């Protein structure tokens, strides 16, 4: 059980890093490489940005649950 949660934690951590880097910051980000800069010129948030936000939040919740579960399992 602990190994499975640890693997899920590692995978969600790497996915979280990737998703955060894809977000557009003040000066743009890695999302500009994939066409994020073009869609932001239309004003407002695009569908891609909203979906990226949702996926980042879901990944963050999975990461948080894995941290809590490992803390409870490894408590002496």
12-60 pLDDT, tens digit each: 999 999 999 888 766 555 656 665 555 545 555 688 888 999 999 999 9
Inter-residue contact 45 to 75 (CB < 8 Å)? no
Which of the pair, 30 or 11, is modelled with greater confidence? 11
C-alpha–C-alpha distance, residues 57 and 75, integer Å: 27
pLDDT of residue 69: 96
Which of the pair, 3 or 45, is modelled with greater confidence? 3
5: how many CB neighbours lie within 10 A of its CB? 18
**Alpha-helical runs (H) found in 1-76:** 2-22, 36-39, 47-73
Confidence of residue 76 (pLDDT cuts 50, 70, 90): confident
Inter-residue contact 49 to 22 (CB < 8 Å)? no
pLDDT of residue 22: 87
């Amino acid at each position: 059980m602990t190994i499975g949660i640890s693997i899920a934690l590692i995978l969600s951590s790497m996915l979280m890093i990737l998703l955060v880097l894809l977000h557009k910051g003040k000066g743009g980000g890695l999302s500009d490489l994939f066409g994020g800069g073009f869609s932001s010129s239309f004003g407002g948030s695009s569908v891609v940005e909203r979906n990226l936000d949702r996926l980042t939040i879901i990944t963050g919740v999975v990461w948080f649950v894995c941290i809590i579960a490992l803390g409870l399992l490894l408590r002496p």
